[in-house]
Amino acid sequence: AQTVTQSQPEMSVQEAETVTLSCTYDTSENNYYLFWYKQPPSRQMILVIRQEAYKQQNATENRFSVNFQKAAKSFSLKISDSQLGDTAMYFCAFMEGAGNMLTFGGGTRLMVKP
Amino acid sequence: DVKVTQSSRYLVKRTGEKVFLECVQDMDHENMFWYRQDPGLGLRLIYFSYDVKMKEKGDIPEGYSVSREKKERFSLILESASTNQTSMYLCASSCSREGRSYNEQFFGPGTRLTVL
């Protein structure tokens, strides 16, 4: 079974600064996908960014980028130029290559301070 | 845009009551999921359905059952609610994997259930 660990329950960052959220996972699979989901206060969970394990290039979506270290089984999320709207719970998640189900980490609560 | 809706945002029930949580998606997705979200534990899968009348147990199915009579609707049932089922419940849906490298899950707003 896969496990996903987020070691930072809470983090804070000043507006306009950069913050990195950590995620590690454990799997024996070689083909899989990794995701970061964002859950704003009282709002629906949305996908922020995804990474295919077979791709060496780190995924980037505007101010969001990942540092994917396959050998170390590490998948961190970097948020640049943090905005107040980035305040949310962030979940790291894993999906097997041929599967449909997600395994989530425990989440990191991020507070962006003005 | 995919829309996943849940019947209630907040629900308060008493121990022993039968509870129905409803989820509806409007994108003709084959897959539907029920998760439970608890602080520090993230989201844990309760049940998964990949087609009408089909279901698979997730990681924590004990105390729950599900029903999928129509493709767009997936219900979570607590036959006899207990206080340890107080939690946030999230529904999600996704399309099938056929012809796709991966399938993104789209989430509903959640139902915060309190069992007294």
Question: CATH classification of B14-97 is 2.60.40.10, yes or no?
Answer: yes
Beta strands in B29-86 (DSSP E): 31-38, 42-51, 54-57, 65-70, 73-78
Mutate to test the interface with A, among B97, B104, B112 (most CBs of A within 10 A): B104
Least confident of A106-110, B1-5, B7-11: B1-5
Nearest to B42 among A33, A95, A107 (CB): A107
Q: What residue segments make up the domains of chain B, in order of their start?
A: 14-97
Interface check for B110 against chain A (CB to CB < 8 A): the answer is yes
- Residue B1: per-residue pLDDT: 67
* CATH number listed for the domain at residues A3-113: 2.60.40.10
Contact A29, A2 (CB under 8 A): yes
In chain B, the residue whose alpha carbon lies closest to the alpha carbon of A35 is: B104
Compute φ and ψ for A85, nearest 5 degrees.
-70, -5
Q: Is B90 exposed, middle or buried (CB count within 10 Å of its CB: 0-12, 13-18, 19+)?
A: buried
Contact A15, A79 (CB under 8 A): no
- Interface A-B: count of C-beta contacts within 8 A: 47
Q: pLDDT tens, A35-87? A: 999 999 988 999 999 999 998 899 999 999 999 999 999 999 999 999 999 99
Q: pLDDT tens, B70-116? A: 999 999 999 999 999 999 999 999 987 666 666 789 999 999 999 99
Q: What residue segments make up the domains of chain A, in order of their start?
A: 3-113
Share of chain A above pLDDT 90, in %: 85
Question: What pLDDT band is residue A97 in, cutting at 50, 70 and 90?
Answer: confident
Q: pLDDT tens, B17-76? A: 999 999 999 989 999 999 999 998 999 999 999 999 999 999 999 999 999 999 999 999
